[in-house]
Amino acid sequence: MATTLPTVKDVPWRSSYEVGRGVGWVSGRVRPTALNPFTRTGVVSKTHTRHLWVSSKKDFERLVGYHADASWRFGSLGVTGLTSVSPTIKYNDLTCSLVVTHETVDTTFGTKPDYSLTKASAHDAATLSDSEFSDKYGDHFVSGCKRRSFFTAVYVCNAKTTHSLNDFLVVAKTNLPLPLSAGFSNQFHSMATEHSVSVTVSVTMGETRAPSSKAPSVHSIKSVDACHAWYNKWKVGSPITAELTHYSTLESCALSPTMRVSAERYARIQTLFGCVRSLADSYDLLRLTSKAPILHDACVFCTMMDTVRVQDLYPEPLSGEKDLLTKYETKYRAFDSSFSKLMTQAEGVREGQTGKAAVSGETEEGAGVGVHHGDVEFGFGKNWIYE
């Protein structure tokens, strides 16, 4: 009666992760690092530039993704799209928007270095029991990550008549070179001038790491090029996937990947802690939109579960004894349905607010640069034009 943990596994990145830190495979708890510093090299990345013209409500709904299918969600992160860009997108009889994104995503974690335990953790590995070592350092460590970086430009085009806007759209869609490519800005500017179309631009980008300089200001079509070049020089991106490696893969660590628990019970324990993490994530969102009393109870429950040792749930209860695992499962179910309803309400409120702001054009005029440090800005679906 035993269960073997995976020695290497890719999982979605969590905000609490840090390369080198330990992680409890089931609990998800982040622990101090047991390793000497290391660096992954040889990371392979893939780059795309995509664009979409938004000139109707249907285009906008596809883009934002609130009414689109799941293909608009980026990977397994499930983050709703364009949450920070959508207020700048406008369209009506005299206005349309061109949304362009340049994205770089790591496709590999790079070459594995020679991981080694610190002097202190090597001593612990030799003297502590498996459960004691796991409690202190986790059973896996974050051995690498894949990153995603993005640069998004929104060009809002305003014409004096519907006829001139339609003519401009036909010519632009047919004759413009690839967005952000050489010659794009000059031709876009000339084309807009020829059709008496004024263009304002706003830019949003992923995480950058410039030593002192700030991103160049964006005030016209042509100024986007300098800002894009600056972004390409200093982009670092945000982690989207973590690689977790079990300590047993290190020659200096004898931690066993085999747990003395049945596969069925282990699956229940894993499901419980996964649900608790989801509940905690939901709480962080809902506390901003709701004051329901159940939020406090859920917070207390999640805090309590953070102190539960996974190993204490392994043993099957003896006849007549209460099962701790069943007890915690029952407590979780008390929150599950209530939180689902609250989440549905929260999504409805957010969708209504975003849709109102963007569709009615209730946004400030002007252009500027915004830097987004979140996990994912937006995903890409079948309606984008791929280059």
Instruction: Count the domains in the chain.
Output: 1
**Structural domain containing residue 137:** 3-359+370-382
Reported confidence tier of residue 43, pLDDT bands at 50, 70, 90: very high
Could you tell me if residue 67 is inside a domain?
yes
pLDDT for 265: 92
Strand ranges (E), 75-181: 95-106, 140-158
Reported confidence tier of residue 346, pLDDT bands at 50, 70, 90: low
Query: Which DSSP string corresponds to 328-355?
Result: HHHHHHHHHHHHHHHHHHHHHHHHHHHH
The tokens for 36 are 């000497």
pLDDT beyond 60 at 244 = yes
Give 181-221 pLDDT, tens digit per residue.
Answer: 888 999 999 999 999 999 999 998 888 888 877 888 998 99
Over range 105-128, report the average pLDDT: 93
pLDDT beyond 80 at 168 = yes
CB of 203 closer than 8 Å to CB of 151: yes
Could you tell me if residue 387 is inside a domain?
no
In percent, the amount of the chain with pLDDT more than 70 equals 81
Could you tell me if residue 364 is inside a domain?
no
CA nearest neighbour of 158 among 202, 185, 195: 195
Indicate the angle between helix axes 324-359 and 293-305, nearest 10 degrees. 130
Task: Give the list of residues 6+ apart from residue 78 with CB closer than 8 angstroms, or none.
Answer: none
The tokens for 64 are 């934002």
Cα dihedral 32, 36, 41, 47, rounded to 10, equals 10
Could you tell me if residue 177 is inside a domain?
yes
Over range 253-262, report the average pLDDT: 88
In percent, the amount of the chain with pLDDT more than 90 equals 42
pLDDT for 294: 82
pLDDT beyond 60 at 76 = no
Indicate the angle between helix axes 130-137 and 119-127, nearest 10 degrees. 150
Could you tell me if residue 365 is inside a domain?
no
CB of 343 closer than 8 Å to CB of 46: no
pLDDT for 59: 82
pLDDT beyond 80 at 81 = no
Query: What secondary structure letter does DSSP report for 306?
Result: T
Could you tell me if residue 68 is inside a domain?
yes
The one-letter amino acid code at 176 reads: L
Q: How far is CA 218 from the centre of its chain?
A: 26
Lowest mean pLDDT of 185-194, 220-229, 283-292, name the range.
283-292
Could you tell me if residue 255 is inside a domain?
yes
CB of 10 closer than 8 Å to CB of 243: yes
Could you tell me if residue 7 is inside a domain?
yes
The reply to whether the predicted model has a pTM over 0.95 is: no
Lowest mean pLDDT of 27-36, 59-68, 308-317, 373-382, name the range.
373-382
Task: Tell me the backbone φ, ψ of residue 359, rounded to 5 degrees.
Answer: -75, -40
What is the C-alpha to C-alpha distance for residues 244 and 226, in angstroms, rounded to an integer? 38
The tokens for 15 are 């905000």
